[in-house]
Amino acid sequence: MHQKLQNLKNEALAQIISAQSAEELEQIRIQYLGKSGQLNDIARLFKDLSPAEKSSVGLLFNDVKSAISDALSSSKLSSLKSSSPADFDPSLPGVKIALGHLHPITNAIEEISSVFEKIGFSRVRYPEVDWDWYAFESLNFPDNHPARDDWETFFVDTPARPHLGRMLLTPHTSNGQVREMERVKTPPIRMVNIAKCYRRQVDVSHTPMFHQFEGLVVDRGITVANLKGTTDYFVKTFFGPNRKSRLRPYHFQFTEPSFEVDISCGICNGHGCKLCKEGWLELGGAGMVHPNVLKAGKIDPSEYTGFAFGWGVERTYMMKSGTKIDDIRLLYSNDIRFLTQF
C-alpha cells in the first residue's frame, strides 16, 4: 500500500508539471482527487487493514493528497490559460529588449585616448598597486610630505622593501613616469597613462577611487610652449573649438616650473557666471618635469627636458559641455535612470 501511494504521488506530480492548459489540469484533478478518482479507490481499501496499518497508511495517504492539491492550486499552474489559437495575436508588436551601453567613464577614457593618439602619444598601463619609490620618492617628494601620510594615502599592510619602500594604492598616475623612463631608456618619450587612483577623500567632487590620465613627453628641446600647445589641442578637441586654456603658476613636487591648467567656462564662454565666477574652471596640474625626476629615471637633465600633466577623467568629463553633472558620486551610484542618459 505504501509503495502504491508513493508511485501515485510521483505520477500525479509529473503530470501536473507537464500540463499545458487549465483544461488538462482539471482532468488531472478528476483523475486523482475526484469521487471516482484513484485516491478514493485506495481509501475504500482501508477497511481491510489492521489498526496499526491504518495509522501509518493514513498518514501517507493524507500527505499524498495534500501534495497533489497544493501542486494543482499553486499560483503558477492555476494561472495557465487555454492555449486556443484565438489567444494569440500575431499582429501585436514584440517586447523590445533593452540594450546596454558603455559606462560614461569608459566612453570618456576611450575618447581621451583617441585625442592623444592623434598627436603621437602611446597609451601605456602601469600598476595601480605600486611602491613608494615610484609614487613618491622618485618624484621628488620629501619624507615629511603630507601626501605620504597614512591619512592621505592608502598604504598596504605588507613589509617594506629596502629600495622601494612601502606598498600602496597609487594616489596618482604619476607613478608611471619613472617606470616609462626605465622602460624606454633613451628618449623620445610620448606616453599617456590612464588608470585608477585612490585617495582618502569623499565629497561632491571627490571619490576614494577615481580615474586619472597622465601625459609625459621627454625629448631634446621640449619647452613650456610644447606643453601649452598640447593642452590647447586637447581642450579644443575634447571640449569644443570655442573653449580656451590657460596656465596658472602653481607648485608640484615633480615639476618645475609648475602650473594649474584652467579652461574657459562652457556655460558663459569665459565671461563669468555663477558656476565659474570669473570665466575659468580648473582642469588639473601640469609642468616641466623636475630634473630630479629625470635623474631618477636615469635620463640626463642637461641633455633632455620634458613636460607632464595629470588630470582626473571624471572631473574632465564633468566639465564637458552638455553633461551637466554636479556631483561626481553620481557616476558610481549605479542608478540606471542616471546612466541611461549617456
Domain boundary among 62, 87, 112: 87
Residues 6+ apart with CB under 8 A from 4: 42
Task: Give the DSSP per-residue string, 278-299.
Answer: SSEEEEEEEEEEPHHHHHHTT-
Write down which residue in 57, 87, 117 finishes a domain: 87
Instruction: Place 77 in a pLDDT band, splitting at 50, 70 and 90.
Output: very low
- Over residues 182-199, the mean pLDDT reads 93
Q: What confidence score (pLDDT) does residue 330 get? A: 77
Q: Tell whether 256 is in a known binding site.
A: yes
Residue 98 has pLDDT above 60, yes or no: yes
Burial class (CB in 10 A: 0-12, 13-18, 19+), 154: middle
- 99 in any annotated domain: no
pLDDT for res 178: 94
Do residues 35 and 82 both lie within one domain? Answer: yes
- In this prediction, residue 90 carries a pLDDT of 77
The total number of structural domains in the chain stands at 2
Among 87, 122, 138, give the residue marking a domain's end: 87
Kindly report the pTM of this predicted structure.
0.66
* Domain shared by 210 and 298, yes or no: yes
In a shared domain, residues 81 and 126: no
Cβ atoms of 209 and 196 within 8 Å: the answer is: yes
Mean pLDDT of 226-246: 92
267 and 311 housed in the same domain: yes
State whether 174 and 309 are in the same domain. yes
Question: Of all residues in the chain, what percent carry a pLDDT higher than 70?
Answer: 91
Q: Is residue 294 in a domain?
A: yes
- Residue 94 is assigned to a structural domain of this protein: no
**97 assigned to some structural domain:** no
- Which one, of 164, 162, 168, lies nearest residue 148 by Cα? 168
Task: Report whether 332 contacts 318 (CB < 8 A).
Answer: no
For residues 163 and 237, membership in a common domain is answered with yes
Interval 136-148 mean pLDDT: 86
- Better pLDDT: 92 or 82: 92
Within-domain flag for 22? yes
Would 325 be classed as within a structural domain? yes
* Section 29-48 average pLDDT: 80
- 190 and 314 assigned to the same domain: yes
What is the distance between the alpha carbons of residues 146 and 339, in angstroms, rounded to a whole number?
36
Do 195 and 128 form a contact (C-beta atoms < 8 A)?
Answer: yes
Tell whether the model's pLDDT for residue 85 goes beyond 60.
Answer: no
Contact assessment for residue 111 and residue 117, using Cβ atoms and an 8 Å cutoff:
no
Q: Do residues 68 and 9 touch, judged by C-beta distance below 8 A?
A: yes
User: Which CATH number do you get for residue 272?
Assistant: 3.30.930.10
Q: How confident is the model at residue 82 (pLDDT cuts 50, 70, 90)?
A: very low
What is the reported pLDDT for 70? 82
Average pLDDT along the chain:
84
pLDDT at position 20, please? 74
Q: Categorize the per-residue pLDDT at 122 as very low, low, confident or very high, splitting at 50, 70 and 90.
A: very high
With cut-offs at 50, 70 and 90, classify the pLDDT of residue 75: very low
Same domain as 282, residue 147 = yes
Residue 309 has pLDDT above 80, yes or no: yes
- Between the ranges 38-42, 155-159, 207-211, where is the mean pLDDT highest? 155-159
Domain, as residue range, for 25 = 2-87
pLDDT at 3 over 70: yes
DSSP of 172-191: STTHHHHHHHHHH-SS-EEE
Whether residue 331 has pLDDT greater than 70 = yes
pLDDT at 76 over 70: no
> What's the pLDDT score for residue 285?
93
User: What is the pLDDT averaged over residues 320-324?
Assistant: 66
Confidence category of residue 13, pLDDT binned at 50, 70, 90: confident
Helix (H, G, I), strand (E, B) or coil at 87: helix
Hey, which bits of 9-135 come out as E strands?
A: 122-124, 129-131
